[in-house]
């Protein structure tokens, strides 16, 4: 099969749904259509069995028990439930919360909402590579601190945080630790026990599953985490997330988790080799190129690059046959420079000249070479010419 255009390299925004995941979900759209809460007949029992199987598969991915997994509509809901749920349940114990400056907006906006309710939030800085210093966390902790939330891996620059060190500090101080693991789970092994994680957010569509479904891990012992639910309306999911379960999506999430467990290590090594190939070709053929976020602790599929003197919006319009991004998908409508790059010390001009490449399970070497060639051609053209409004020159 020849090269199929356009080439997709925006896997941090969403991943292609794996064909095996689609096959697993299809029966639930046909004869296996039951409501998992219908406990009085075979259709409901069948749907419930599918949900519980998926719960076991997802628990196995992160070293949890099935009873510690609740299903949600996605990571945004999971982040909100974890952060606001803990804050409201333990507000009598304390009103101080800690997070980092480079979190996903689902996390940052949840903390900002709590600040409007009277909570106090400390936003930890990061180093030039985007990592939190565990000692900064230790110094930020107070007697009234009840929650720390630091993402496992960043959705823009791919930096992987020192979860085990952060978790150990939280455990020493009796503070709950939440991590948004959305970007990491398809590529990095995370065990909630060895990393002392108390709450963990999952999204299916960032690990080759369907959109519109996610999960939240909630530790049940040593320590047991209590949450105040965000929604009212029934006893589903231990009373924490009411509403009819998305059986189709949950089955897809479970299958996606199973596939990750089976192939993650080998797959991550292959993707990293392709990412390194793309990076080296860009560095070899272009001047004024900087890789953001460092290279020692980075997701294998991530390449975030600043092309000095070239606006990312020009490149995106020109590179119509390669799907890449200038930042987080949820913030693509904003004209503000990336808060992640600003936290790393980037100038507004550099932040507006940066692209994110996100490789995935189905990326090929041929696609990498095509993307590299087109990127080089586009940058060279833009540096030599004033772009017009249509930017139709690079095909």
Q: What are the tens digits of pLDDT across the range 151-197? A: 999 999 999 999 999 999 999 999 999 999 999 999 999 999 999 99
The CA-atom distances, in angstroms, between 234 and each of 39, 73, 242, 243 are 14, 16, 5, 7
Catalytic (active-site) positions: 330
Record the tokens describing residue 139, joined without a space.
């110094």
Mean predicted lDDT score pLDDT of the chain: 94
Handedness of CA 185, 181, 339, 80 (dihedral sign): positive
Q: Is the model's pLDDT at 328 over the cut of 80?
A: no
**The pLDDT value given to residue 294:** 84
- The packing angle between helices 42-62 and 247-285, to 10°, is 30
Single pTM value for the model = 0.95
Do 7-15+264-384 and 19-259 come out as alike in CATH topology? Answer: no
**The pLDDT value given to residue 393:** 46
Q: Long-range contacts of range 200-203, CB-CB < 8 Å, 24 or more positions apart?
A: 200/62, 201/75, 201/78, 201/79, 201/82, 202/58, 202/62, 202/75, 202/78, 202/253, 203/74, 203/75, 203/78
**The pLDDT value given to residue 336:** 72
Reported as type and span, the H/E element at residue 50 is helix 42-62
**The pLDDT value given to residue 47:** 95
What are the extents of the domains in the chain? 7-15+264-384, 19-259
Record the tokens describing residue 323, joined without a space.
């799907």
Kindly indicate whether the domain formed by 7-15+264-384 is annotated with CATH number 3.90.1150.10: yes
User: What mean pLDDT comes out for the span 359-366?
Assistant: 98
- Rounded CA-CA distance 346/338 in Å is 9
Pick the CATH number of 19-259 from 3.40.50.360, 3.40.640.10, 3.30.530.20, 3.40.50.720: 3.40.640.10
Record the tokens describing residue 118, joined without a space.
């009277």
Q: What are the tens digits of pLDDT across the range 140-164? A: 999 999 999 999 999 999 999 999 9
- The proportion of the chain whose per-residue pLDDT surpasses 90, expressed as a percent, equals 90
């Amino acid at each position: 099969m020849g090269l199929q255009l356009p080439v997709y390299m925006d896997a941090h925004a969403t991943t292609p749904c794996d064909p095996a995941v689609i096959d697993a979900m299809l029966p639930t759209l046909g004869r296996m259509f039951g409501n998992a809460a219908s406990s009085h007949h075979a259709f409901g029992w069948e749907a419930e069995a599918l949900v519980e199987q998926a719960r076991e598969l997802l628990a196995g991915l992160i070293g949890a028990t099935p009873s510690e997994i609740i299903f949600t509509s996605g990571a945004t809901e999971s982040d909100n439930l974890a952060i606001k749920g803990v804050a409201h349940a333990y507000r009598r114990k304390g009103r101080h919360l800690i997070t980092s400056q480079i979190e996903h907006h689902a996390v940052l906006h949840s903390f900002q909402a709590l600040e409007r309710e009277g909570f106090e939030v400390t936003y930890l800085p990061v180093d030039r590579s985007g990592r939190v210093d565990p000692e900064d966390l230790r110094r930020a902790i107070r007697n009234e601190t009840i929650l720390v939330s630091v993402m496992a891996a960043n959705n823009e620059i791919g930096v992987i945080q020192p979860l085990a060190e952060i978790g150990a500090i939280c455990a020493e101080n009796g503070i709950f630790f939440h991590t948004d693991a959305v970007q990491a789970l398809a590529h990095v092994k995370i065990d909630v026990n060895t990393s002392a994680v108390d709450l963990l957010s999952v999204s299916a569509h960032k690990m080759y599953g369907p959109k519109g479904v996610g999960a939240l891990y909630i530790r049940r012992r040593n320590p047991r985490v209590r949450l105040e639910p965000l929604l009212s309306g029934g006893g589903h999911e231990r009373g924490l997330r009411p509403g009819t379960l998305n059986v189709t999506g949950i089955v897809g999430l479970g299958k996606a988790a199973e596939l990750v467990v089976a192939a993650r290590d080998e797959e991550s090594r292959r993707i990293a080799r392709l990412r390194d190939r793309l990076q080296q070709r860009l560095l070899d053929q272009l001047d004024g190129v900087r890789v953001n976020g460092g290279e020692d602790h980075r997701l294998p599929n991530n390449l975030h690059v600043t092309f000095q003197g070239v606006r990312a919006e020009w490149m995106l319009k020109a590179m119509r046959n390669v799907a890449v991004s200038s930042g987080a998908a949820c913030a693509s409508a904003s004209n503000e420079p990336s808060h992640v790059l600003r936290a790393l010390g980037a100038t507004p001009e550099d932040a507006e000249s940066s692209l994110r490449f996100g490789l995935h399970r189905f990326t090929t070497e041929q696609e990498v070479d095509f993307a590299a060639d087109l990127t080089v051609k586009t940058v060279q053209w833009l540096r030599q010419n004033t772009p017009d409004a249509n930017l139709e020159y690079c095909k």
